[in-house]
Amino acid sequence: MSWEGWTIVISALGLAFGVALIVLGYKRRRNGPTQDRGSNPDHGHHFMSSTYGSGRESGSRTWRVPKNPNDYAKIFAPTKTDGKK
């Protein structure tokens, strides 16, 4: 088979693969989860932890994050303002 024939075969396989990816992506999006992402606003907290290492030093930390979005927003609200605009 000449190089023109191989070019056609490889192009056809690439096209078929691309179409298959598009179809699978469409099906996955259409049949995805029906509920919103995240957790329900509720009382209580989530616990998040992280660990890190940089050669000689390492560490870990745990955070307590409120489940209620309003309580979460209050963490980032300023407690006092200086009156400047």
For the chain, the structural domain boundaries read 45-76
pLDDT at 21: 94
H/E run at residue 20: helix 3-30
In a 10 Å sphere around its CB, with 0-12 CB exposed, 13-18 middle and 19+ buried, how is residue 32 labelled?
Answer: exposed
pTM: 0.38
pLDDT at 52: 87
The H helix count followed by the E strand count for the chain is 2, 2
| Per-residue pLDDT of the chain in tens (85 residues, 90 and over written 9) | 788 899 999 999 999 999 999 998 888 777 666 556 666 677 788 888 989 888 888 899 888 888 888 888 888 887 777 766 5
DSSP annotation of 55 reads: T
